[in-house]
Structure 1
Amino acid sequence: MSEIPANTRPLEGPAPRLKAPAGATDCHIHLYLPGYEAQPGGPKIPELATVEDYRKLQQWLSLERVVVTQPNAYQRDNRALLAALEQLGPDTARGVAAVTPDTPDRDLQAWHDRGIRGARIMNLPGGAVTHADMLAVEKRIRPLGWHLMVQFNGCQLNDYIDNLQRLESEYIIDHIGKFMPPVPADDARVDDILRLLDRGNAWFKICAGYEASLTSAPEYADVGAIARRVIAHAPERIIWGTNWPHVGVSRDNYPSDADQLDVLLDWATPEQQQKILVDNPARLYGF
């Protein structure tokens, strides 16, 4: 077993300008624990990112609740995710796992009992479970009341929209739609996202604008225009996440975690911020 270096990413800094309300929830992080190796098909793990590390980040940003997402590095091996949820505790943490059409019912129920509430569908390089299995996975998780967390390049939305419309369960359109490259806010594909939200079972996550934006931080003006339009249209269907620990980003371009929270000052009103950070995730994740 190889030795993965300890975290060297910044876990503290100047306080965010946005004072997070009580119950604020980070709906998208990844954790990399000692003793768990990257699996074939996924990226390498450059550094650990432990529960202890994340708790320092929570304190920095004044966040109280968290949703841990299965990282691509672990592929379909959810053991580290389950171990992290046990450390974090059921009062303040939930998880999103890699689920396949063949995952046994007994495993799904056991994972539910340990805090899993969603299944990840990743249609970008390194994804463990992709759109090809999405409808089959959705049938498996539907009895448990879980949701799907779906990530794709929004510019290719036309390749996915028919099956998204077939979903009966709740699902999240991840990473601000992840339009690569960003499109104008009045693009027809953004119109389509609004129509998906109007159907009542889609959610939209404000997360990792830096991954798609071609404009400078911390404003991310190009993806910010998309975010503002979607937030204004359906503030009751929006959640937010840091995407910590920002794997795959060089240290020279490493984003400020305070800035990832502060985008909401420019993209959402105080009333919308309360919904995005507290009320909406509490409803979706059962906090």
Structure 2
Amino acid sequence: MHLIEPAAFPLAPNAKYTPASHTLPQALSFYASHPLLSHISNLVIVQPSIYGTDNSCTLAALRALGPDRGRAVVALPPDASPELLFAWHGLGVRAVRLNFKSVGREVEGDELATELRAAADAVRGFGWAVQLYLGLESVPLLEDVVSQDPPLGVKLVVDHLGHPTLPDSSQGASGSSQGGATDPDPYALPGFASLVRLVRGSASRRSNTWVKLSAAYRIERDPALPWVGAMARELLREAPERVVFATDWPHTRFDGYDVVPFVEKCLEWCGGDEALEQRLFRRNAEELFDVRR
């Protein structure tokens, strides 16, 4: 989830949009108000693109939560010292975010490799992850970097299912038929096969990549979510230990969105498997963000 307080923490000069204020007390009230979400007590706060590399808002909320309840994903300032990162680690920071999608940046292979390796070098000693928000069509570039030597040596997170660009309905990318309805074939989406290989791993290389099942409304307007559902079911089947649920609260640029139906869909995609539900909503996130129980 994200927190935004423009009055207390000014946005970056190049911010792409100006949302309303969404504070930690509002977030806690939101979770407490929904029966499906009210059990959530631990939060992961993710630095939004509109703050650039100024993590003040995110870190202030993390201090208020405390390291027993809070984790954070920050943007890496260019001058961040090991001493600063060590201090942030004590607060509960466990990842840095490379955000290409929100700022409309097209990333090339060499560029991605350079930035990803620089981030990995900075945080490897702390056991942090590097979280990437990039289009699904760019995931093959990520797969290329991961396959190179030396290994990155960090956990990776792909935001929002890789945020695919869905085909027009006229293209008819579809797969098997179930119950009289034709389900989309997620492998028709450029980059999806690479994403599956990354989260599944191989006999020679254990997976160190997670994917967030989140922000379906940014991907697909159909409330039945046929494409997102097809992706989610396949990822949960292929890599049940590498898929992490996220609310993406406060749903910036989609004011008024009700996330509860999406939560219900996620439960549906788990097929009644309680162990899988526990992994999706809790266990995988605990491993990814270094929560010891």
Query: TM (normalized to structure 2)?
Result: 0.81
1:171 aligns with 2:156: yes
Alignment counterpart, residue 239 of structure 1, candidates 215, 240, 244: 244
**Rounded Cα–Cα distance in structure 2 between residues aligned with 1:75 and 1:164:** 26
Q: CA deviation at 1:54?
A: 0.3
**Rounded Cα–Cα distance in structure 2 between residues aligned with 1:43 and 1:190:** 28
Contact 1:39/1:74 (8 A) holds in 2: yes
Q: CA deviation at 1:121?
A: 0.9
Alignment counterpart, residue 216 of structure 1, candidates 213, 216, 222: 222
Contact 2:2/2:48 (8 A) holds in 1: yes
What is residue 186 of structure 1 aligned with on the other side?
Answer: 187
* Alpha-carbon RMSD: 2.0
1:31 aligns with 2:19: no
Question: What is the SS of the residue equivalent to 1:186?
Answer: helix
Contact 1:101/1:140 (8 A) holds in 2: no
1:148 aligns with 2:148: no
Q: Which runs of 5+ in 1 are unaligned?
A: 1-28
Greater RCO, 1 or 2 (C-alpha within 8 Å, sep 6+) = 1
Q: Which runs of 5+ in 2 are unaligned?
A: 168-172, 174-184
Contact 2:67/2:90 (8 A) holds in 1: no
Q: CA deviation at 1:127?
A: 7.5
Question: What is the SS of the residue equivalent to 1:120?
Answer: strand
What is residue 143 of structure 2 aligned with on the other side?
Answer: 161
What is residue 24 of structure 1 aligned with on the other side?
Answer: none
Q: CA deviation at 1:235?
A: 0.6
Q: CA deviation at 1:101?
A: 5.0
**Rounded Cα–Cα distance in structure 1 between residues aligned with 2:241 and 2:142:** 23
In the alignment, residue 259 of structure 2 is paired with which amino acid?
A: D
**Rounded Cα–Cα distance in structure 2 between residues aligned with 1:201 and 1:35:** 37
Task: Describe the superposition over 1:112-164 as per-residue Cα deviations: whole angstroms up to 9, x where unpaired.
Answer: 11110000011214279x83522101111000000011111102323333124
Alignment counterpart, residue 202 of structure 1, candidates 176, 185, 209: 209
Report how many residues are paired.
253
Query: TM (normalized to structure 1)?
Result: 0.82
**Rounded Cα–Cα distance in structure 2 between residues aligned with 1:44 and 1:154:** 23
Over 3 Å counting, the alpha-carbon distance change for 1:38 and 1:50 in structure 2 is: same
Task: Describe the superposition over 1:45-82 as per-residue Cα deviations: whole angstroms up to 9, x where unpaired.
Answer: 32111010000112122212110000111100011111
Structure 1 segments of 4 or more deviating over 3 A?
Answer: none
Q: CA deviation at 1:271?
A: 2.1
**Rounded Cα–Cα distance in structure 2 between residues aligned with 1:101 and 1:216:** 40
In the alignment, residue 55 of structure 1 is paired with which amino acid?
A: L
**Rounded Cα–Cα distance in structure 2 between residues aligned with 1:90 and 1:267:** 31
Task: Describe the superposition over 1:87-107 as per-residue Cα deviations: whole angstroms up to 9, x where unpaired.
Answer: 122211100000145321111
What is residue 281 of structure 1 aligned with on the other side?
Answer: 285
1:272 aligns with 2:276: yes
1:93 aligns with 2:100: no
What is residue 4 of structure 1 aligned with on the other side?
Answer: none
What is residue 58 of structure 1 aligned with on the other side?
Answer: 31
What is residue 179 of structure 2 aligned with on the other side?
Answer: none
Contact 1:236/1:280 (8 A) holds in 2: yes
Question: What is the SS of the residue equivalent to 1:148?
Answer: strand
**Rounded Cα–Cα distance in structure 2 between residues aligned with 1:76 and 1:277:** 28
In the alignment, residue 36 of structure 1 is paired with which amino acid?
A: F
Question: What is the SS of the residue equivalent to 1:286?
Answer: coil
What is residue 101 of structure 2 aligned with on the other side?
Answer: 124
